[in-house]
Structure 1
Amino acid sequence: MEAAQHAARGRTARGAAELDLDEATTERLRSQLPRVAEHTVRAVIIEVPSYAGALRGAMGTNIEEAVQLALGGFLSLAARPRGTDPGTPLAPALEGAYALGRGEARSGRTMDALLSAYRVGARVSWRELSAQAVDAGLDAATLAKFAELVFAYIDELSAASVAGHTDELATTGRVRRRYLQRLGRSLLLGAPADQLAAAAARADWDPPRTLTAVVMPGEQARRVLSGLDPRTLRPEEDLPDLEGEDENEIAVLLVPDADRPARTALVRSLRGRQAYIGPARPWTAVRSSYLRVLRARRLGLLDAAGPQPDPEAGVCDTEQHLTSLVLGADPAALADLRAQVLEPLAGLRPSTAERLAETLHAWLLHQGRRDDVARALHVHPQTVRYRMGQVRELYGDALNDPGTVLALTVALAGRAAPVEPQVTE
């Protein structure tokens, strides 16, 4: 870009140095600038569809004035005294062209439209100004130099507008990325819904119906993001609730509308990524999904057996591990419950107590069906009968109490459940 600008400026300076316009011709051309500007704007409206509505009314008047400024700068350049730095008359027009490029970026138009407008403007301006120059008696050689200067000047204005457009997009992109980062962190922190809505509007982010939190190794996230909804957020700074973990090694993705059938596709896309997928939640409530995936990660559920175990997949769908998550939610309470309901076994040898607890657990799960219990434990049905006789002697009528049965079911299920590490001060 800079090389092109320098080349254009060199051609402009050279053309201006070689052109010699007398004062009368310059004044004649200057008097026609309002008409030339009007014709230029009219041609742009007709020939460049992107500007069909944009240049009417007050904006059209503003553009006409900008065209007059540009043309006036050109005439000042063409008529400047020999030896004068061409940058002096060029500066205001170039600043205006740069600002125009930034404005076009803010309006959402590409540079294609503006460059087309420049080409139309160059053609119309040259036609109008050259006709006046011929009427003023310019000779052919001077007219040729005049043409060269017109198009070198337009090239330089175009380059300034391209620079402005590029800078605005870069600035806008950085600002939007910063806003998206703030939105993502606010979502993880559970900010109030009205604050989240305002943050989404600032970031120009279209809120989905739901968001699903995904936690995975940081180095894998870039490859995954390209296949997800473009609205997926990836907060990267000051991630909350990590409890001492290195946030640089963890990627948090907030994936829009990844529920129902879309969840299957999300799980499939994350296979082999060591990813933890939380539940879909209303987008303003995604913090609960985030906290669940962190809990699943701390419990090491990636390879844990669940209702549909798939240890080769490298994905933990937390919806398939709800029992383990519930049992691991309060490890101290689970340990107390276990000690309480297994107290009748406390006086036995550890190996005996373990066998009886294992048999009681299978008996509860299979609702007392002896053959099913035997198959689950790989023992003879008579062994099940013998062990359950011992259990009944120890528990008595308590095994007929629904409350006791519930407590035993939870406590014995928790024997194999992962326990969340306790955070110590």
Structure 2
Amino acid sequence: MRGSAVSDGSVWARLPHELADAVRPRIPEIARACVDGIAAEIPEYSRSFGEGPARVAAIEQARRGIERDIDRVGTPAMWQADRLAEFRGHGRTAFHNGLSREAVQAAVRVSSRVTWRWIADIAREAGLSADVLYGAAEGMFADVETSMAAVAEGYRAAEAAMSGTGERHRRLLRALIAGRTPAEVDGLVAASGLPVPARVAAVAFRALPGAPEFPRDLLPEHVPADPAGDPPAALTPAPDTDLAALANLPAGWTAAVGPLVPPATAPESFRVARRALDLAARGLLDAPGPVVWCRDHLTTLLLLADEFLVDQLASTTLAPLAGVPGKRREQLAETLLALVQTRGSAPELGRLLDLHPQTIRARLKKLGELFGSRLDDPGERLRLELALLAERALPGRE
């Protein structure tokens, strides 16, 4: 392997232990800086490394790697075999996640450059000599060659192991839901020989601990799917026919079907599907079976897209109801929602709510006292309707 002769630990072994002692407390900061640098410079990583679990995992991975490298300072040890295996694993993972080999190799370069800058600054702060800086630079840049060669080796091995339409489907699925650029997706499509439909719906899956494995025969072979992946997902241009068998999902499994969208916005369809799974798990979306169809819950998904803003809207818009006792408040809120939605008369609202018109008139009088001219303002009526619908969608928030 190119570079392995110079990256055998001999350079690091000549460096003083004081360098390792100075760097070690700063490793968590260096790891975060590496991930930030990769996200900023490499578009293929910007979405996943920007926030969320993938960013946390990447920082932890970087921390462990830097820690192992620093452990070699002053130690006459060969480059660890497990470190090379780790970089080969990075190459395989990049391939299966739809990343290009160039992107993952660029990530190695960026990470090494960021790490070197931090180590150089720390060494200067510690008063270490220029010889130490030169030695650290020599060791790091030799390691870059070794690391990139291992990444390429793992990537090529994954390419060679790829066989069958199913694997090509999974790669295309990952590329689409991860928000790759059109050029990147076009390259994967050309390499796979698979057609991309004009519109697709993303599917998100969730399995409770202890749930059985996903049955392989629940989805047609032509549907790109990876229910065991991270995150579990599928894509289909014909959800009604392709996903019919999901009604037979085993106990412990749930699926949510996102909106039909152009392939370029498949990540948004997947985001909405995952949000629907979260809301369904909290009992905020009703579904007759294990499948949540987002198209049936668009209003609720919109209202609960930002729960903080929902709380703000409800608390400010419905403030006049704050001092009304529980049952009475519920009755007035029910009548108020019917009023702003229909602008009906007391008899009409009575028929709608199955109440005597005189009861409705009494409630309307009270609402008039509480809300005044706001009931005649179209903009205010819209705010009231949204606040009341959101309050219904999030029970217990009033």
Using structure 1 for the length normalisation, give the TM-score.
Answer: 0.48
1:358 paired residue number: 334
Q: Check whether the contact 1:296–1:325 (CA below 8 A) recurs between aligned residues.
A: yes
- The aligned length equals 228
Picking from 182, 202, 216, the partner of 1:222 is: 216
- Say whether residues 1:281 and 2:281 are aligned partners: no
The whole-number CA distance in structure 2 between the counterparts of 1:314 and 1:238 is 20
Q: How far apart are 1:343 and its partner, in Å? A: 1.2
Q: Secondary structure at the match of 1:200?
A: helix
User: In structure 2, do the counterparts of structure 1 residues 217 and 322 end up closer, same or farther at CA, with 3 Å as the change threshold?
Assistant: same
Q: CA deviation at 1:202?
A: 2.0
CA shift for structure 1 position 368? 2.0
How has the CA–CA distance of structure 1 residues 314 and 376 changed in structure 2, closer, same or farther, with 3 Å as cutoff? farther
Q: Call closer, same or farther: CA 1:232–1:179 in 2, change over 3 Å.
A: closer
1:302/1:316 contact within 8 Å kept: no
Aligned-partner Cα distance in 1 for 2:326–2:223:
55
Q: CA deviation at 1:177?
A: 5.4
- Quick one: which of 205, 226, 238 aligns to 1:234? 226
2:218 partner amino acid? V
Contact 1:212 1:254 in 2 (8 A): yes
8 A Cα contact 1:234 1:254, kept in partner:
no
Query: Separation in 1 of the partners of 2:182 and 2:339?
Result: 48
Q: CA RMSD in A?
A: 2.9
Instruction: Report the AA paired with residue 279 of structure 2.
Output: L
Q: For residues 182-197 of structure 1, what are the structure 2 equivalents within 5 Å?
A: 182-197=171-186
Deviations 1:215-252 (A, max 9, x none): 23563452212xx361534375443xxxxxxxxxxx41
Counterpart-to-counterpart distance in 2, 1:331 and 1:313? 25
Match of 1:127 in 2: none
1:380 aligns with 2:356: yes
Contact 2:346 2:361 in 1 (8 A): yes
2:100 aligned residue: none
Q: Residues 31-52 of structure 1: CA distance to partner in whole angstroms, max 9, x if unpaired?
A: xxxxxxxxxxxxxxxxxxxxxx
Partner amino acid, structure 2, of 1:280: L
Q: What residue in structure 2 maps to residue 324 of structure 1?
A: 300
The alpha-carbon deviation at position 395 of structure 1 amounts to 1.3
Q: 1:300 to 1:379 in 2, by over 3 A?
A: same
CA distance in 1, matches of 2:248, 2:227: 22
Contact 2:173 2:224 in 1 (8 A): no
TM-fit CA distance, 1:386: 0.5
Match of 1:400 in 2: 376
- Judging changes above 3 Å, is the alpha-carbon distance between structure 1 residues 180 and 222 closer, same or farther for their aligned structure 2 residues? same
Rg larger in structure: 1
Identity %: 29
Offset from partner CA, 1:259-310 (integer Å, 9 cap, x none): xxxx43345433243431111112232111101100111111897677xxxx
Residues 71-117 of structure 1 deviation map (CA, whole Å, 9 limit, x = unaligned): xxxxxxxxxxxxxxxxxxxxxxxxxxxxxxxxxxxxxxxxxxxxxxx
Q: Is 1:267–1:317's contact at 8 Å kept on the other side of the alignment?
A: no
Structure 2 unaligned blocks of 5 or more: 1-158, 208-212
> What per-residue deviation string (whole Å, max 9, x for no partner) do you get for residues 22-72 of structure 1?
xxxxxxxxxxxxxxxxxxxxxxxxxxxxxxxxxxxxxxxxxxxxxxxxxxx
- TM superposition shift of 1:190: 0.5
> Aligned with 1:275: secondary structure?
strand
Mark the CA change 1:418 to 1:393 in structure 2 (over 3 Å): closer, same or farther: closer
Give the letter aligned to residue 281 of structure 1. V
Partners of 1:182 and 1:387 lie apart in 2 by 59
Cα gap change, 1:314 to 1:373, in 2 (>3 Å): farther
Does residue 1:300 correspond to 2:276, yes or no?
no
Q: In the alignment, which residue of structure 2 is the partner of 1:254?
A: 235
Matches within 5 A, 1:156-171: none
Which runs of 5 or more residues in structure 1 are unaligned? 1-169, 240-250, 420-425
1:12-411 counterparts in 2 under 5 A?
A: 173-174=162-163, 179-217=168-206, 219-225=213-219, 228=220, 230-234=222-226, 236-239=228-231, 251-255=232-236, 257-258=237-238, 263-266=239-242, 268-273=244-249, 274-300=254-280, 311-411=287-387
* 1:142-187 Cα distance to aligned partner (Å, 9 max, x none): xxxxxxxxxxxxxxxxxxxxxxxxxxxx966538655543332221
